[in-house]
A and B are shown apart, each in its own frame.
Chain A
Amino acid sequence: MSVAAGGGAPSKVEPMKLRIYGVVGGLVGIYLASLLGPMTGNWASFIAALGVIPAVVLGANSVRRVCSYGIGTGVPSIGMLALGMGIVAAMFGLAIGGVIGPILGTAIAMGFGYLIGLITNKAIKFNIPVMEEGTMDLGGAGAITLLGLSVAVSGSADYAAIQMSVIATGYIAVVFIAGSLAILHPFNANLGPDETQDRTLTHAISTAALAIVAAGICGIGTIGLPSVLTVIVGFLVWIVYFKKFFQLVKRDAAGVVGTGLLPPSAQ
């Protein structure tokens, strides 16, 4: 594999800071939504979806850190790995953890991620210095994204409720793919020599917002009207951050010019 010059992408925001924001923000969202759920008649479920945003930013940042070394397989593989690790750990945590389920699931996902990083460096001989840290963050981000979107769909962090309204209905597939795309797409779309952290992470917020919209639409089938709020919140976040992303694209581009329509002769 090719190692990027200088070893890794330059970052303005420290990974540790993003890790704390991502994990704490995501878990606070999940717990707030499931605590307020019964009181507000599930109108608070959008908070869990909002908590997904810092987790996706954490995931996108670690995709950026690991993939800037060049992993040879394309960026999507690592996003799929994140949710693959995340789903098993998250469901395990929920099933055995009870109230502390989401915390347990996230912790297990991060531990499992660290191990995956370790074996890819040792057995597959990747020799990427940030691999262990990167896959640890990815596991955590995957688990929180999955849990947050699942809580947004079901309105509760209870294992039985998620079983019934997310897994048995098949919405888990939407949550899985929307969540992994949210994590993998930002770096996949922005990579290159002119990639900047703020642009990639702003893009991550907008892709997380789209995942929220998807989860909100699924939620209409399970918790009904309150899920419309999730869709609206997701759209608002998307509009704001996609505009911001586009500004950053214009800032980083050499030039933005209108090409006009094709001349009639070219058709």
Chain B
Amino acid sequence: MTGIDATSVMYIIEIIIGGLLVAIGVHFVPVGGAPAAMAQATGVGTGTVQLAAGSGLTGLLAAGLMMKMTDDLLLIVASGAVGAMIMIDATMVVGNWVYIYGVGAPPASAKVNYDPITKLPQPPYMAPGTVGQGIPTVCYVSGTIGGLLGGAGGSLIYFALLSINGNPGLSGIFAIGIFLVNAVLASWNIQGTIEGFHDTKFKRWPRVLQAALLASAIIGVMAVMITGGA
């Protein structure tokens, strides 16, 4: 067990910032849940935690790889962010292939009349009785931003943990734990589904800040007091 000094306070702050980034990042990811799996809602057809964990863990791997080469925080966080962005983008592209070529549904958002990025009208393409389908451009861009924030947050947590205990295995599984707690809190905040930054539910993000702040702070204090052991 190690005590708490100025350096560990800095690591705790890094863990908290990482946790907040993860919690906010989740709000950007177009999560459609079960209805989207049947192409009856916009977004990727799975739950928030699965999407966040998938992209976040890829980010952790990318960050871990970069940590072998350098100990520059910026490069490591950037590597983690890019890793997560690639993963979430690949998921969305393949999801769109399935929706477009498999199901035969054009991507359309139910939350806006015109896509804020392409300015294309959405309602004509929406199948009756559904709340949109597929991953339209605005959701895709939003999801990429979500991957950036989540990956950056995850790798920041991992960097802080590894600097404390020097044990990649322990840091990795701890980072996953912190990542999941924040992702679940965020997914509860959006109540399961969201289209992205253009969704009205997105305005709820300040609520998750308090929750993620407290949760990350407690975990951060615990995490810095654990040594690598063995």
Show the binding face of A for B, using Cβ within 8 Å.
1, 71-74, 76-78, 80-81, 83-85, 87-89, 91-92, 95-96, 108, 112, 115-116, 119-120, 123-126, 159-160, 163-164, 167-170, 172-173, 176
Contact = CB atoms under 8 A, between A and B. Distances in A.
Nearest to B181: A84
A125 B188 CA distance: 10
15 contacts: A1-B191, A72-B193, A73-B47, A73-B187, A78-B184, A84-B178, A88-B222, A91-B226, A92-B225, A119-B210, A123-B211, A124-B207, A163-B228, A164-B230, A176-B176
A83 B184 CA distance: 12
Contacts of B155: none
Contacts of B185: 116, 119-120, 124
Interface of B: 1, 33-34, 47-50, 53, 167, 169-170, 173-174, 176-181, 183-185, 187-189, 191-193, 207-208, 210-211, 214-215, 218-219, 222-223, 225-230
B226 A120 contact: no
Given A74-B34, A87-B177, A92-B225, A163 B230 contact: yes
Given A96-B226, A119-B215, A168 B169 contact: yes
B173 A176 contact: yes
Contacts of B170: 91, 163, 167
Sorted nearest first, the 7 A-B pairs with minimum C-beta distance are: A72-B191, A84-B180, A73-B192, A72-B192, A123-B210, A81-B184, A163-B230
A169 B173 CA distance: 12
A88 B224 CA distance: 11
Contacts of B179: 84
Given A80-B53, A83-B177, 9 more contacts: A73-B187, A77-B184, A77-B188, A84-B181, A116-B181, A124-B185, A168-B167, A168-B169, A176-B176
Nearest to B171: A167
Given A72-B188, A84-B176, A96-B1, A77 B229 contact: no
A87 B214 CA distance: 18
A92 B2 CA distance: 11
Contacts of B53: 80
A173 B211 CA distance: 26
A119 B187 contact: no
A167 B49 contact: no
With a 10 A CB-CB cut-off, give which of A1, A84, A96, A173 has the most chain B CB atoms: A84
Contact of B211 (A71, A88, A119): A119
A95 B169 contact: no
Contacts of B228: 163
Contacts of A159: 229
Given A116-B215, A167-B170, A95 B226 contact: yes
Given A95-B1, A124-B188, A167-B169, A160 B48 contact: no
A76 B47 contact: yes
A76 B185 CA distance: 13
A157 B210 CA distance: 35
Contact of A172 (B173, B192, B193, B211): B173
Contacts of B33: 73-74
Contacts of A160: 229-230
With a 10 A CB-CB cut-off, give which of A74, A120, A173 has the most chain B CB atoms: A74
Nearest to A86: B177
A159 B1 CA distance: 11
B161 to A, nearest CB: 10
B150 to A, nearest CB: 15
B225 A95 contact: yes
A73 B188 contact: yes
A116 B181 CA distance: 9
B192 A81 contact: no
A175 to B, nearest CB: 9
Contacts of A72: 188, 191-193
Contacts of B226: 91-92, 95-96
A83 B181 CA distance: 9
Given A96-B1, A163-B230, A77 B187 contact: yes
Contacts of A95: 1, 225-227, 229
Contact of A84 (B177, B187, B208, B223): B177
A98 to B, nearest CB: 10
